[in-house]
Amino acid sequence: MPRVETGDEGYRWRRLWVYDVASETVRCVSSGELNVWEACWFGLDAVAAVVSLGPGEGLWYTATLEHLELTSGARRSLYKPTDQLGWPAASPSGRHVAVVDAFCSDRWVVAGELRIVDGASGAVERVATNGVDISCVEWRSDTALLLAGHRGFETVIATYDLATGKFTETWTSRETTTPGFHATVSGGGASRDCALVGEGFRRAPEIAVIRDGEYRVVRSFDAEYAQTVECLGELEELTWTARDGLEIQGYLLAPKDARKPHAVVTMVHGGPVANHPRFAAAVPTAPVTNFFTEHLVSNIPDFVRVFLQDSPTNTGGRYFTRSPVMFAHRVKTPTLNVCGLLDRCTPPGEAVQFHNALLENGVTSVLVSYPEEGHGVRKMPAMFDYAARLVAWFERFMPAHARQL
């Protein structure tokens, strides 16, 4: 049977529902014209919500923060961001709501500037966080905020006093962070104390608490992890400047093996096109290779427009100059193209056309399509297959040691 698309994605609406514990009833409290991405209680009879006027995934990039009254259904705007919003959290009394405003590639990957909105006056405070990109917000009282985030290579936990306007760092580390895309913690005890899952390149995941600024391990899950990472040698923090002046940071992990030079494997979100002879092999996974088709076929055309600051009707503009497939004739690097057939963010056609373009230009290319995977390879046993193919590809084109004849 065919799959029919009309452009109407009404079935994707995200509504806000309230469950009444006493009566064991549930009711919808958001209006039909609003799609709710995130929400938090804002006092006893209202919520603060990140919303858009449609359910399409791309509309998240222009979502706003609104105040929704549960009884009357009335709504009013609280904050219209410069970029994208995440992590709304309201003070216990409902007087203020905090939210993070940041330039983001993906929903749920939000780390940036902290805003505090006065629910009554609508005044917005831009909090100075000493260079920390905030990724976790929790009110510990009506005037005290527990925060977590990143500043360069540092993971930082801090507090903010709304009454005094003071931002205080309580713990920082360059060796220990939290898993996932960004720093997250959970408050407990005193307003500055918290619990977290800590880990690092040389540290296995562990449950820990921070009390009075001191990191204390509660339970480590080190199942011979320490022995596994004994092969790691030097860990170097690198910073460089892109052509547009943006500072970029990365880690260089070298093996203990004294034989040099070492082959280097880079992992970059939105990585470079392998059109330089320095690259021995490449494995683009869930790639964007043609911004024209990404705009027209994916479920996030708004992101493409915001990211490129251009229009597909601008012939020869950024939609063309930033599309790797347009320069496939320059590529000489053997490429393993990986995609999920259920991916709507970067549809499989992005990998298919780059693969075909490489073959057309005589470049070694293999296309691997996972029928049950979406954006990225995440489920078993596909993850095992993906890992094996990735290692085999690099071993084939840049083996760790010369083969013995």
Residue 141 has pLDDT above 70, yes or no: yes
In a domain, 402, yes or no: no
pLDDT tens for residues 300-315?
998 999 889 999 999 8
**319 or 223, which is more confident?**
319
The verdict on 58 and 202 lying in the same domain is yes
Is residue 253 in some structural domain?
A: no
Task: Give yes or no for a contact between 116 and 96, defined as CB atoms under 8 angstroms apart.
Answer: yes
> What does the pLDDT look like over 229-261, one tens digit per residue?
888 888 899 999 988 898 999 999 888 876 777
| Number of domains forming the structure of the chain | 2
More confident call, 11 vs 56:
56
The reply to whether 198 and 320 lie within a common domain is no
Q: Is the pLDDT of residue 275 over 80?
A: no
Whether 118 is covered by a domain: the verdict is: yes
Residues 25 and 155 in one domain: yes
Taking the model in full, what pTM does it have? 0.90
50 and 182 inside one domain: yes
- In one letter, which amino acid is 136? C
Q: Which residues, at least 6 apart from 356, have a Cβ–Cβ distance to it below 8 Å? A: none
Q: Are residues 200 and 53 in the same domain?
A: yes
DSSP string of 314-351, one letter each residue: STTSHHHHT-GGGGGGG--S-EEEEEETT-SSS-THHH
Residue 234 lies inside a defined structural domain of this protein: no
* Distance separating alpha carbons of residues 153 and 239, to the nearest angstrom: 10
Asked if pLDDT for residue 148 goes beyond 80, the answer is yes
Q: Verify that 175 and 52 share a domain, yes or no.
A: yes
Interacting residues of 345 by C-beta distance below 8 A, sequence separation 6+:
57, 286, 298, 299, 300, 374, 375
Which of 12-16, 263-267, 298-302, 359-363 is the least confident region? 263-267
Using the 3D structure, point to which of 178, 205, 226 is the last residue of a domain: 226
Does residue 281 lie within any of the structural domains? Answer: yes
Q: Is the pLDDT of residue 168 over 80?
A: yes
Q: What pLDDT score was predicted for residue 404?
A: 42
In a domain, 405, yes or no: no
The pair of three-digit structure tokens given for residue 178, joined into one six-digit string: 């939290």
pLDDT tens column, 62-94: 999 999 999 888 899 999 998 999 999 999 999
276 & 353 share domain: yes
Instruction: Give the separation between CA 181 and CA 102, rounded to whole angstroms.
Output: 14
Per-residue confidence band for 262, with pLDDT thresholds at 50, 70 and 90: confident
Give the Cα separation of 42 and 48 in Å (integer).
6
* 221 and 283 both lie in a single domain: no
Report yes or no on 185 lying in a domain. yes
Helix, strand, coil shares of the chain as percentages rounded to 5?
15, 35, 45
349 plus 277 within the same structural domain: yes
pLDDT above 70 coverage of the chain, percent = 97
d(CA 249, CA 36): 34
Rounded to whole angstroms, the Cα distance separating 284 from 35 reads: 33
Domain that holds residue 378: 263-397
Per the structure block, which two tokens stand in for 370?
Answer: 């996972």
What integer pLDDT is reported at residue 277 of this predicted model?
80
Q: Exposure of 83 by Cβ count < 10 A (0-12 exposed, 13-18 middle, 19+ buried)?
A: middle
219 and 302 assigned to the same domain? no
Instruction: Report the C-alpha gap between 36 and 48 in whole angstroms.
Output: 10
Question: pLDDT per residue over 174-227, tens digit each?
Answer: 999 999 999 999 999 878 899 999 999 999 999 999 999 999 999 999 988 888
CATH number of 202's domain: 2.130.10.10
Query: In terms of Cα–Cα distance, which of 99, 83, 89 is closest to 141?
Result: 89
In CATH, what number is assigned to the domain containing residue 344? 3.40.50.1820
* Residues 213 and 342 both lie in one domain: no
Tell which wins on pLDDT, 345 or 3.
345
Same domain, 105 and 156: yes
User: pLDDT digits over 25-55, tens only?
Assistant: 999 998 888 999 999 999 989 999 999 999 9
Residue 314: inside a domain: yes
The CA-CA-CA angle for residues 276, 374, 248, to 5°, reads 40
